[in-house]
Structure 1
Amino acid sequence: MTNESGLRVWRIICAAFLCASLVHLSISRSKSPDLFPHYQNPRHLVARKCQVPGLAALTFDDFPNERIDELLELLGSWNATATFFVNGPYDPRDSVLQEELLGPRLKKIHRLGHQIASHTYDHINLNTADQHAFSATMARFDTWLGGLLGGGIAGPRYMRAPVVGWGFDTEDWKHHTAQTVHRAVRRVHDHAAQLQARQIVDLTADIVLMHGFHNTTVTTVAPAVLEALGAVGYRFVSVAECLGHPAENWYRRREHGA
């Protein structure tokens, strides 16, 4: 959202739904309809699951870690496209190091055709942020990502708010040690079984939440998701595609005045 009226509308919806929203997409745990009626304009769509039958979306929040090459190879082996909801290099203790590491990783993600979207610049809790803080973190992220990726990109059209908001949570953030990661894998298998059971009447899948900075997500959880949901018959695409949106709408572009 780029205008003040849009920001005000988003802020109201954010408060109403505990900030489980995206500017273009939201992944919510609520029992509300998959597409909330609050956004009649398709640019302001709120959703928590895929809308195209047979498709599933893998999402990775926060920072892609040093095993990003391994993750990208894994996704490539499945011909899978993922969506990375990332933050900027906001930590003042090591912002230079973050910038040096994060930039090349995101450029490679982008070059390989994966979707990059906003998780705000500094991972603030939007439940407690005021209008100024919200506007500032969104604008700063857009400026930073646009400068990093180039190509006339002014910022992403898709955003996930930090702290809450997902369709299916693998809980890799909770079970990320070698001793506990099996619990996240069990959740994945249980979820796949539920999808299999309902497939006759519902071929749509949830948007799956993972985190790119845990080694066990790359080595264990992501492979489990791909294998379990792949066995059910799902094809792995970007969040945009699983909602039926074209790739050319992933980003706002300067030449269009966006």
Structure 2
Amino acid sequence: MPSIPTTIRYRTLTWLTLAASLAYLCRNAVSVAESTIRADIGFSLAQSGWFMGAFFWSYALLQVPSGWLVQRWGTRITLSLFAFIWSLATFGIGVAPGFGLLIVAQLVMGCAQAGIFPASVDSIRHWMPLSQRSLGCGFLAAGMQVGAVLASGLTGLLLEPFGWRWVFVGFAVPGVLWTVGFYLRFRDDPRSDPRVNAAELALIRAGSMAEEAKEDVEEEKKKVEERSGEKRRGASSHIRGHTKEVRTQSSGQWSELLAMTRSPVMWWL
């Protein structure tokens, strides 16, 4: 009699969804408390724009590098590190004495949260069957929105009785607790988790193996087509390559001229 698959993959998905909620709780709490922070610290609306935007600058710049780190070190290490750092950044907002350290805390939080999506998607690829990967991404997106809603409600509710500093210090605690639990319980590969039985592992791997086999067939087909096309290209490939080079150089020169004549001076510098 075949054994019933365990459900460790859903527990893994729960960890990832919770991480998304906590991340969005911390990042969105800033926008709710912005006017209170600005009045207390004493900076201008223009400075507030820099304070609010600092997160997104580092968040955008670190998306690709964080994905590379996930591929190199795995989700268990990287996502634990990311969560711990963004929790420290949240704590840093709560204890920052002035505008400069608020900017630093926002930049650090953006750096750390840039890796949430790459790490989570990589884990979904390893842990969810092919037929359930869209479901996993849906739960991840739902977790993000739940965190945003909680930030709006909880931050506004707690600001008056506790003050904005204690609110951010308090929001940092769940992330630290999550980091410890995730690192202890999560495994990058279901084959490394002793709680996963053979039936669940077969369920997870079934779609992946079919996908890999299909990719191998497509890759081999592409190689055959490339080899057969080499004979037909012949001497004309050199002419096309030269034409393309001339066209590219011409396009680049016109783009540069357009940038110099139509763009603001500071952008060009």
Band of TM-score, shorter chain: under 0.3
More strand by share: 1
Q: Which has the higher helix share?
A: 2
Q: TM-score of the superposition, structure 1-length normalised?
A: 0.24
Say which one has the larger Rg. 2
